[in-house]
Amino acid sequence: MPFWLNPSIDPMSTNMNTLSPNYSLKGNYLFLTIMLFTLLLNIFAEEIYFRAWLLPKMYSLGKWSWIINGFLFALYHTYQLWLFPTIFVVSLATTLSVYLSKSILPAFTIHIIANFLLGIITITVLVLK
């Protein structure tokens, strides 16, 4: 079973050979670059789908549309259950900013900052470990 599906494994305190057998992450800057590019594409796709396409279609729900959209975005991320409370709050704030401004630029900005803080720093630590 992959480590990310095993809740008993803490990736921050587990031996790297368990997390990544036969593939050293230490000093692997190509891996870090690919992960950064993939992360940016993922953010772009999620924001286009949830905020630019789905949210306007939900306007018929009235003032609840942004709350439901934010909840659906957070629900989409339940594979990161340990982050759900944080993702839910940030998702509501992000969706509200899009709802009020009618622009997805705030969502891109918030999403990039949040993923950078939660993802890139973790990956960098693993690569430099």
Integer Cα distance of 102 and 90 in angstroms: 18
Mean per-residue pLDDT, 82-88 = 87
Say what the pLDDT of residue 4 is: 62
Predicted TM-score (pTM) above 0.85 = no
Identify residue 43 by its one-letter amino acid code: I
Q: What is the pLDDT of residues 90-113, one digit of tens each?
A: 999 999 999 999 999 999 999 999
DSSP secondary structure string, 105-129?
Answer: HHHHHHHHHHHIIIIIHHHHHHHH-
pLDDT of the residue at 123: 74
Of all helices (H) and strands (E), which one includes residue 76?
Answer: helix 65-76
- Whether residue 101 contacts residue 51, with contact meaning beta carbons closer than 8 Å, is answered with no
